[in-house]
Amino acid sequence: MTGVTNIGEQLGRLRTQRGLTQEQLHERSGVSVDVIKKLEQGTRSTCRIGTLVSLAEALDANVSVLITPRTRLAPLDEHDPALDAIRQAVTCGSIPGLDEPDEPEPAVPTLAEGAATAWRVWQRGDYSTVAALLPTFVAEARHACRDLAGDDRVEAFGHLASAYETAAGVAIMLGMDDLAWLAAERAVAAGEQSGTSVVAASSRHWAAWILRRQGRYGECVSLATRAAEEHEPSLMRASDAELAVWGGLLVTASGAAARADRPEQADELLSYARGAAARLGREHTDRWSVFGPRLLAHTAVMNAVEGGDYERALHLAETVDQTRGTMPPTWEARYLLGLAQAQVERHKDQSAVRR
């Protein structure tokens, strides 16, 4: 199983600094002495995300300290170890002999914990750390889908979809467009087997976002609107997650339409999403979607910036400050950069700097 490297050296150093024996670290973390010993000796170089989290918490350290991520993402060499690890995790699939687990398949709660951890790290913009976490997470989710049965297997496919989605996001950030699309396709395939509309729609949303990042705006609009049509919820009966995923599809399609110089279509798509945002009444943020009134306000501003209508962008920005709720830091940062561009274009440099 491909996974995080250089764990053992860091683990031993931190354990010694904390004045702990391997047995004491076991008692604090719940991780077996055998696993701790093998990691420190280098006879084992990988472990599950849940194991990493347990060790980090027991050592009062961040997970990123254990995995010693790179401090940069780009430029990366074609055969950089981080890229090779993600490439292997995404491309091995279920080919016999290429993807053999060195542990029993994880329980579904362990997968859920891994998915939540990877998503949190991704959303705070710590791409180096999530890049190091992904290979093990993808592999263990894939093993679970192969080895579990019944409802557990169906749920495992949802976590596998989440793993591939995050892998697609990291790959696109690393400039590996083809690998990102392959991961997105695998996410869609896993999402279709997850048994839930939310997961299936979310995986297609990620695929649409990858297309948008690649500048394939027409294809993004087509994919996202088709998925929105197929997964359109009842505004009266839908869960928050269903509303958020559907609205997120429309927002992504709207942004792509704006970039394709189709302002009328961009506005129309946002108008459809407003019903879902009003029904939610707040920002909904989880690993399946980020959506709500504040995101809609952000998107309207960004669409105006994309269209070169900077006065309108600044006018619309006044409504953003009136919306409640927060979004992940990376989302807020992208919005502020767009707003700063509009302010600079309208010769309001001081406002741009203050933001």
338 pLDDT higher than 70: yes
Question: What residue ranges define each of the domains in the chain, with the CATH number in brackets?
Answer: 1-68 (1.10.260.40), 73-195 (no CATH), 214-355 (no CATH)
pLDDT band at 285 (very low <50, low <70, confident <90, very high): confident
125 pLDDT higher than 80: no
Cα distance between residue 255 and residue 302, in whole Å: 8
CB 324 within 8 A of CB 281: no
**Paired tokens of 254:** 């709207």
Work out the average pLDDT over 217-226. 97
Q: For 56-106, how does the pLDDT look when each residue is reduced to its tens digit (9 = 90+)?
A: 888 887 666 676 544 444 445 556 666 776 787 788 766 666 655 555 566
Q: For 176-186, how does the pLDDT look when each residue is reduced to its tens digit (9 = 90+)?
A: 889 999 999 99
Cα distance between residue 253 and residue 89, in whole Å: 29
Single pTM value for the model: 0.78
Helix (H, G, I), strand (E, B) or coil at 289: strand
Q: What angle in degrees, to the nearest 10, is found between the helix axes of 293-306 and 240-259?
A: 10
